[in-house]
Amino acid sequence: MESMETKGVALVTGSGRGIGLACARELARRGFDVCLNCSSAVSLERTAGAAEAIAQEFGVRAHAVAADVSDADAAKAMVDEAVQTLGRLDVLVNNAGITRDGLIARMNPEDFDAVVDVNLNGTFNCCKAAAKVMMKQRSGRIINMSSVVGVAGNAGQVNYAASKAGVIGITKSLAKELARRSITVNAVAPGFISTDMTDALTEEQREAIAGRIGLGRFGEAEDVAALVGFLASPEAAYITGQVISVDGGLAI
């Protein structure tokens, strides 16, 4: 495809698959150069392949970086690499996330810490590194992946719910800190979306959950990516500090 004028540069964490990959594709479709990220060198080849495919399909520049977002130095190095390779940083999507579910009686402190390390500390690490660049530019968009579970809680997920509620706290506080620099910060709260993360559910669990969703079905990664694309667009310039659900009517 012929290359088009870039709309800016977007970095999406945890974008080798699932919602993150759909976000990277949607941002590329909208004309952003994109930096994909995977957690380790093991998956870099596959993620670089996904970046190459995006570049081909949408005529943008695409780059892949391996970095564990829970490691503050690695997160900073990832942001630096994105800026060095693609020239600037206009959009950060903090999408990387994990689950380690279990009722509290069976949840080890390690399971709690591991989820908070990636989902909450990882978001902090990337926000901190990206905010430095965006503050100098006096513009930027930060979009944090929370969850309906961060708003409403869920039995068996105290670690995940705490991390995703924390992401909302970061979002609202940082929106207040960065607004004067024309940087918006918003959170997206997906409900149940068909990805590897929800593939772990049994058919019985899926049916029970679908019964609680107004639209009666799980969402697709593209449903979440559509909102992320909008929040990165000029039309969303006056929206900040918000938590927006994409949940098919689960939480209403």
Tell which residue, 93, 28, 22, has the closest CA to residue 56: 28
Residue ranges in 135-164 that form contacts with ligand NAD under rule CB under 6 A:
145, 147
Question: Which two three-digit tokens encode residue 180?
Answer: 């004067």
Q: Give yes or no for residue 126 binding ligand NAD (CB under 6 A).
A: no
Least CB distance to ligand NAD at residue 30 (A) = 19
- Name which position in 89, 174, 193, 225 contacts ligand NAD (CB under 6 A): 193
Give whichever of 70 and 240 is closer to ligand NAD, judged by the CB atom.
70
Report if residue 166 touches ligand NAD, rule: CB under 6 A. Answer: no
CB neighbour class for 183 (10 Å; exposed up to 12, middle 13-18, buried from 19): buried
Binding test (CB under 6 A) with ligand NAD, winner from 53, 72, 77, 98: 98
Q: Is the dihedral of CA 192, 12, 5, 232 positive or negative?
A: positive
Inter-residue contact 83 to 63 (CB < 8 Å) = no
Each residue of 152-180: b (16+ CB within 10 Å) or e?
eeeeebbbbbbbbbbbbebbeebbeebee
Which residues between 77 and 96 bind ligand NAD (CB under 6 A)? 95-96
The kind and range of the H/E element at 78 are helix 72-86
Minimum distance from residue 233 beta carbon to ligand NAD (Å) = 20
- How far apart CA 104 and CA 158 sit, in angstroms, is 7
In this chain, which of 10, 24, 28, 38 binds ligand NAD, going by CB under 6 A?
38
Q: How far is the CB of 115 from ligand NAD (least distance, A)?
A: 9
Catalytic site includes residue 238: no
Choosing from 112, 124, 160, 218, the catalytic residue is 160
The amino acid at residue 220 is E
Is residue 20 a contact residue for ligand NAD (CB under 6 A)? yes
- Give kind and range of the element (H or E) at residue 62: strand 62-66
Instruction: Tell me which residues touch ligand NAD (CB under 6 A).
Output: 13-14, 16-20, 37-39, 68-70, 95-98, 118, 122, 145, 147, 190, 192-193, 195-198
Catalytic sites, residue numbers: 160
